[in-house]
Amino acid sequence: MKRIAISLAALTLGAVAAPLGALAEIAPGDVQFDDYGAVETSLTGSSGNADEGRKIMTEKSLGNCVSCHAAEAYADVPFHGEVGPWLDGAGSRWTEAELRGLVINPKKTFEGTVMPAFYKVDGFNRPGDAYTGKAAPADLPPILSAEQVEDVVAYLMTLKDE
């Protein structure tokens, strides 16, 4: 009887905690883009951490933006790609909402672009399980979490023209 009471309590707690967590975050399928691909609302409801954003952008296992984009701002990181434009000044060229939209799904801003969508979980052709070459799990996670997207946006906003 005691054991049942405890697991019931755990269940109830879980049931309450999950929707609360989900409410705070905008899921990939619920993102609202404007006509130009910008996303006004923060995915987490708060602003990101720019230092974390820099790490995410420059580390291969995270966003790995550096594989396509160079920037003076992270010149200390080796091997900058040339597939996308330099990112210095991105925070002056674009608004925060536009940058958020670009990271979530740049195809809404640049039709047919080579740049991948970092907060998107469906609509892919043969999606894989990260870099294993195997089929993706049914609940494929986005490449970056909501929090990581906000961190990246916060960092991009620091890349102002001198």
Partner 1 sequence: ALVLAAPAFADEDAELVINGEIEIVTKTTAPAHLEGHLDEILSGWRFRSDETQAMEMDDFDNPGMLGAEAGFEQFETVMGSEGKSCMDCHDGVESLANVRPTYPKWNDDKEAVYTIQMQINDCLTERMGAEKQKYDSKTMLNFEAALASVSRGMPVNVAIDGPAQSTWEQGKEMYYTRFGQLDLSCANCHEQNYGNMIRADHLSQGQINGFPTYRLKNAQLNGAHGRFKGCIRDTRGETFSPGSPEFVALELYVASRGNGLSVEGPSVRN
Binding site for partner 1 (CB under 8 A): 60, 64, 66-68, 70, 72, 75, 78-83, 114, 116-117, 120, 124-136, 140, 143
Q: Is 154 in the site for ligand HEC (CB under 6 A)?
A: no
Which residues within the stretch 103-132 sit at the binding site for ligand HEC (CB under 6 A)? 103, 110, 113-116, 118
Q: Quick one: 117 exposed, middle or buried, by C-beta within 10 A (0-12, 13-18, 19+)? A: buried
Indicate the residue among 62 and 140 with the shorter CB distance to partner 1.
140
8 A C-beta contact, residue 44 and residue 151: no
Whose Cβ is closer to ligand HEC: residue 7's or residue 61's? 61
Q: Which does 103 bind (CB under 5 to 8 A by kind): ligand HEC, partner 1, none?
A: ligand HEC
Rg of the chain on CA atoms, in Å:
18
**Strand, helix or coil at 135?**
strand
Report d(CA 123, CA 16) in Å as an integer: 31
Task: Produce one character per residue of 148-158: b if its CB has 16 or more CB atoms within 10 Å, e if not.
Answer: bbbbbbbbbbe
* CB nearer ligand HEC, residue 70 or residue 152: 152
| Residue 65 contact partner, candidates ligand HEC, partner 1, none, CB within 5 to 8 A by sort of partner | ligand HEC
In three-state secondary structure terms, 130 is coil
Q: Which stretch binds ligand HEC (CB under 6 A): 6-14, 81-89, 120-128, 134-142?
A: 81-89
Residue 16 vs residues 7, 13, 46: alpha-carbon distances, Å: 14, 5, 22
Binding residues vs ligand HEC (CB under 6 A)? 57, 63, 65, 67-69, 83-85, 87, 90, 93, 99, 102-103, 110, 113-116, 118, 152, 156
